[in-house]
Amino acid sequence: MPVIAALRALERATRPYDAEFAAAMRRRWAELPDVARTPGQILGRHGVGCEGTHGVFPKCNLKCTPCYHSRDANQVRVDGPHTHEQITAQMGLLRELRGPRAHTQLIGGEVSLLAPDDHAAALAIMRDHGREPMSFTHGDFDDDYLTRLALGPDGTKRFARLSFAAHFDKFMYGRRGIERPPDEESLNPYRARFAAMFTRLRREHGVRFFLAHNMTVTSGNLHEIARVIRDCHAMGYGMFSFQPAAFLGDERRWKEDFREATPDAVWAEIERGAGTRLQYRVLENGDVRCNRTAYGFYVGRRWYPFLDGDDPRDLRVRDVFFRRFGKMTFTGTPPALLAVRVLRVVARYPSVAVTGLGWLARTVRRVGPLRLVRERMRVRPVTFVMHQFMDADVVAPAWEMMRRGKQATEPGLRETQERLAACHYAMAHPEDGTLVPACVQHAVLDPAENAALRSLLPIVEVSTRPAAQRSCDRRGNHPCA
């Protein structure tokens, strides 16, 4: 009967756990090295990790020091059909090997060099493969570009939500209006302008957004991290990510004494900006030698963690979440459907509600009821991240040994292999059916890949000089000879 069939379909759609996603979790956990199988590990328990594109549009129109792109990156033409073809193939392999849901970064060079329609088509391809896309940009584009990306030719929304990661730091040269920033503070108006474009888009067209703020850190701006956080935490960014510079990419752009910006020094500055200690072992994404993450929220100007690592009751909340909700796909699930799935879990395990209510009561006490009232219950989730890429000179030999199935005995190479095995950030190679860590992509594979792209997608420059002069040039003669 139609009613019975409809009820069965509803029951299947609201099942809390997706069998394919659960299988992907089991595979991911099995792949992790022992050092990464920690109580707070997210990989293999609630996600497979992040993913990224490569070989799609390596060109950028700013000049950064340092730059992780290879020497040939800016000699490759930005081409919409090539981008769509490559993304389709890469997303297909990611869907096959990493399961039905993941966060994936549309990254290469500067994403806004893609025409808005090509950019929108790329995002649609990623969503069609179960990916939640995030576009990476330097943020130097206008309202018109964002509107044309978000809305179709008829003015209707293409997407209910857009995610962007914007990279701002004073070692990025060529930004309009501020060619060579003297310090990080001078970029704050540009950071605010970028976030304001999305606020306007949501207000006028109902397109929700998530924004991450990225910043490469060297000894030259290490001491400015705290000021950036204090100045910008309320602009609309939901994440602040800091990357200590690594020796990757174009060696011509290594200008700083990078080793002074150690992970501990960078994290200490992030804590100074947040105004509190940030516990990065409560929830982990891969190897903590690569990634440190602190999840929490602002109420007014104060930041609070979602889970207090010093409170055993909060650690129990984490463990209950992994056990009861870890296999549930949050990414890309409509809020109403997600709510029904959560309620089904609570109905089966009523103690989950007791645990959750206890956590909520403790959190309110930590913040203070009066503070919440004064701030009109405005709670702004903000995550702090530090991501440490590895140098090319250690990645290349470690990866070569891993390909041969050989475990390194030298401590530095063994650590590199462990970090690569636990990598949170993978890129797909459909030509051979493999996934590689991002450090391997940048350190080992990018140079040859971009050299090949330079031939496949050459930048054709149109000369405006007289024909006779161009003829002389082709013969190898100086035009004034």
Give the pair of three-digit tokens for residue 297.
Answer: 């929220």
Q: pLDDT band at 477, cuts 50/70/90?
A: very low
pLDDT tens digits for 60-91? 999 888 777 777 888 999 999 999 999 999 99
Query: What range defines the domain where residue 108 resides?
Result: 2-456
Which residues make Cβ contacts (< 8 Å) with residue 217, sequence separation at least 6?
169, 225, 242, 243, 244, 245, 261, 266
| Residue 363 domain flag | yes
Q: pLDDT band at 478, cuts 50/70/90?
A: very low
pLDDT tens digits for 297-317? 999 999 999 999 999 999 999
How much is the pLDDT for 72?
84
114/84 Cα distance (integer angstroms) = 11
| Residue 474 domain flag | no
| Residue 463 domain flag | no
| Residue 445 domain flag | yes
How much is the average pLDDT of 252-268?
A: 77
* Number of structural domains found in the chain: 1
pLDDT tens digits for 187-200? 999 999 999 999 99
371/353 Cα distance (integer angstroms) = 25
| Residue 466 domain flag | no
13/141 Cα distance (integer angstroms) = 40
Q: pTM value?
A: 0.92
How much is the pLDDT for 464?
45
Which has the minimum average pLDDT: 59-68, 308-317, 320-329, 351-360?
59-68
Nearest one of 403, 413, 402, 285 to 28, comparing CA atoms: 285
How much is the pLDDT for 254?
64
pLDDT tens digits for 226-242? 999 999 999 999 999 99
| pLDDT surpassing 80 at residue 279 | yes
How much is the pLDDT for 332?
77
| pLDDT surpassing 80 at residue 130 | yes
Whole-number percent of the chain with pLDDT over 70 = 93
| Residue 121 domain flag | yes
How much is the pLDDT for 458?
93
| pLDDT surpassing 50 at residue 480 | no
How much is the pLDDT for 257?
61
| Residue 426 domain flag | yes
Length of the chain: 481
Angle between helices 80-98 and 116-128 (to 10 degrees): 20
240/274 Cα distance (integer angstroms) = 11
Q: pLDDT band at 57, cuts 50/70/90?
A: very high
| pLDDT surpassing 50 at residue 465 | no
Which has the minimum average pLDDT: 103-117, 201-215, 330-344, 406-420?
330-344
Angle between helices 335-348 and 351-367 (to 10 degrees): 120
Whole-number mean pLDDT of the chain? 91
pLDDT tens digits for 156-176? 999 999 999 999 999 999 999
| Residue 311 domain flag | yes
Q: pLDDT band at 462, cuts 50/70/90?
A: very low
How much is the average pLDDT of 222-226?
A: 97
Q: pLDDT band at 333, cuts 50/70/90?
A: confident
Give the pair of three-digit tokens for residue 92.
Answer: 């297909």
